[in-house]
Chain A
């Protein structure tokens, strides 16, 4: 079967130029998955537009032909959000990578969607500013992708998520129109479509320009590493720090297995034999940080730390962070395959849920390494398995699912920062009622009634929008008592 998208190739070459349209099967295969390699689909066509006008024209062509399209930034997503549609066009934004403007007095920058997260901070740094959301993938992931996923990072505990740092978006609507959401000032009349769009995983349109907020770089940064003989003891320290009214920039924890992996991979020199390593980073005005540092050290000791280290110079801090930041990749060396989970629990339930994970691991014989953002209860259990052993992948999958069940049971979420994508859409009905999901999809129907923009993501069952664009029904449907689900 020739996908309808293929017949669009000529039109796309017209729009983007011949070398920015890929049809060669080998080239297409490069784009078959994002950072989550377990979901793969080869797209019918790949286009690499260079301007917002080109993106709009590409989308208009898709809309006119009824062909689905998917946006892709750097392809580091971990939920399969950028997995292409077999009969659709993949729109890759990586050629749109200009930092258009940095206004240090206003603390704002305007960037194109393909700009990497780190490049924003690099552009801001000469002015004593930085871009606060800092996903561990910041060297490669794109700001457009960050907006789509509402990405976080280790420091979002204090500084907030992408949505708290985006002030305006130029988007191409699923009908192919360029429009702005938000005025770029943080105060706009009408509905906060900017907020609703952020985190919509590429299902409401394609971002072509982003106005971001920049933050004054902190005067002082201190990192404390505390090693414990148990995760519980480390957890106690976290609780006590929060109870003391301190909001650290980051609180991260790693368990024995992930410490071992990181040690082997990057020789980070964490205290030997520790069952848990806690990293607490404090940032802010020097006087505040000094005072908080003393308190944090005291509380970490009181919780039974066997060793405490503190670092304030950038090189030392980077050395300590290297262990944490390498953890995902490092665990890959322990095991031929693994699943990264992203569940969240109320912070006070961390102990219970970690115990549950340990029990699940013991029962199933599937190893689980735990690396997590302890400050906000965002777990990243790494479920290890060997895909060469028959049945092990399935057992790993079932442990992984049971972990998400536990997160939901404790009032948490199935995803803290990686998004639902294709990977977790089947868990959505466990977290939300049919009415909740139906209501969310009203937004989808408003933006994309034809359901062409990244279809099949987030929602397990698409909602019929009830009206085709251009064929509007009367303004008032019969006043029925309830919606049919």
Chain B
């Protein structure tokens, strides 16, 4: 920061009124720097004014939704100002006849869903209710239903952003079908706060399904589980999710399928799906192990492996071999039918209830001591594990991305392909970053600097 804190503070107060000094808690859990100041704009116009002040004083800026995944990825290396979006929490428009809703970025997804549910509608994302809309979009977070509905970028039809220099810009609109101009929503979905500040998002909605069923089965052998996943995902029974969970390498595999629709239709399909899975069990609530959106607790490393489903068996075997070699025991979960698995390590010993983590209901209790000795010996092993999986999956047209990791693991990873490994199109990504944030002031160091 180039000037006196008081001058900056005064300018920020003029911009939006709600400004305070930063506290340790504003940095979140991931070892990010404590911001000097926190501003809470109440509108896009105020957010733009704040961004202009930040540009004028050359401040490093981090946008904050609810902070639930602020520590994901590589934390910002510098942070002078946190822009706290929590005051921008309104559902600005819900055109239920058009199945469209415009929402401010600071709104909690759970509150938004509750409002939409009054018209029997929803944003078809199964993500934790506590996450903010802006955070969900910026992190690209999606749960099991990605198989049918995709990720936030697939449901986003319009976006309003504030650029690093304070310029307000929008793309898309409030109609589902629209190809006028470049789609900035796609670019900002998953941009992790590094291209600009998301202030509003417009989503296409879906009717809330009248009924749902979960069909689950367990397998001792990898091939049988993989056949079940493929059969479920490729069947015309229209699965909304095909999930897999394995408590550790070599362990038994559970496969679960979510079906949604009319009560009669779902009942008939569930019976047939149970047959496809071998001897599937039908229930109307998710099993305790249902993965929900990916999450990780302090001290844990969360790894996303994406691949072609025909390679699922090889991916599972690869994970086993790499885990044995590195001496780690990851919990394996995820949207196997969509070709996405999450590996969380260490899985045991840190969880309150091993194997039951990550249920749809919310964050589990973490009994871990993030600063304690439990995590000390592991980082090199975790990094070795990541590198081994990455090397093996490279031959499968897959990608291995570390979504969250403690600082020690990030340090070990630096020399082993980093958090992202080889990123296709990285040179273009750097060029995009340079255009949108020429001063590299938005979550500096997070991306693409880290890649």
- The interface of chain A, by Cβ under 8 A from chain B, is 103-108, 128-129, 149-150, 152, 156, 160-161, 163-164, 168, 173, 177, 179-196, 198-200, 216-219, 239, 242-243, 245-247, 284-285, 287-288, 291-292, 344-348, 373, 376-378, 411-420, 424, 428, 431-433, 435-440, 442-447, 458, 475-477, 479-483
Contact = CB atoms under 8 A, between A and B. Distances in A.
B432 A439 contact: no
Contacts of B176: 376-377
Contact of B398 (A183, A246, A347): A183
Contacts of B436: 442
Contacts of B1: none
Given A107-B234, A291-B262, A443-B435, A411 B308 contact: no
B258 interface: no
Given A105-B230, A442-B436, A190 B306 contact: no
Contact of A446 (B56, B154, B166, B431): B431
Nearest to A150: B179
Contacts, number: 305
Given A105-B230, A195-B153, A377-B98, 8 more contacts: A184-B308, A184-B397, A192-B140, A193-B432, A195-B186, A291-B264, A443-B182, A475-B438
B181 A458 contact: yes
Pick from A149, A184, A438 the residue with the most CB of B within 10 Å.
A184
B340 A163 contact: no
Assign chain B's interface to a size class: 35 or more
20 contacts: A105-B309, A180-B425, A185-B308, A186-B306, A216-B238, A291-B262, A291-B264, A348-B95, A378-B177, A413-B179, A416-B178, A416-B179, A419-B179, A432-B170, A433-B170, A438-B167, A443-B182, A443-B187, A475-B434, A476-B439
Given A188-B306, A196-B186, A347-B97, A479 B55 contact: yes
Given A196-B183, A376-B176, A476-B439, A435 B167 contact: yes
B187 A196 contact: yes
B193 to A, nearest CB: 12
Contact of A185 (B95, B98, B171, B399): B399
**Chain A contact residues: over half helix, strand or loop, or mixed?**
loop
Nearest to B98: A346
A105 B234 contact: yes
Given A216-B235, A447-B431, A411 B175 contact: yes
Interface stretch (B21-29, B243-251, B416-424): B416-424
Contact of A242 (B52, B99, B433, B447): B99
A195 B171 CA distance: 13
A242 B398 CA distance: 39
Interface of B: 52, 55-58, 95, 97-100, 120, 140, 146, 150-151, 153-154, 161, 163, 165-171, 173-184, 186-187, 189-191, 195, 206-208, 210, 230, 233-238, 261-262, 264-265, 268-269, 304, 306-311, 338-340, 397-399, 401, 419-421, 423-429, 431-436, 438-440, 447-448, 451
A239 B163 CA distance: 38
B179 A149 contact: yes
Contacts of B310: 103, 105-106
A219 B153 CA distance: 28
A108 B52 CA distance: 45
Contacts of A190: 190, 420, 423, 425-426, 429, 447-448, 451
A287 B167 CA distance: 51
Contacts of A177: 427
Contacts of A481: 52, 55-56, 165-166
A187 B306 contact: yes
A196 B171 CA distance: 11
B169 to A, nearest CB: 4
B254 to A, nearest CB: 20
A440 B238 contact: no
Contact of A344 (B55, B175, B183, B339): B175
A348 B98 contact: yes
Contacts of A411: 173-175
Given A107-B234, A443-B187, A183 B306 contact: yes
B340 A186 contact: yes
Q: Which 8 A-B pairs have the closest CB atoms?
A: A195-B186, A245-B207, A439-B169, A288-B265, A185-B306, A180-B424, A187-B306, A189-B420
Contacts of A437: 181
Nearest to A220: B236
A193 B52 CA distance: 27
Given A193-B428, A439-B163, A442-B435, A161 B177 contact: yes
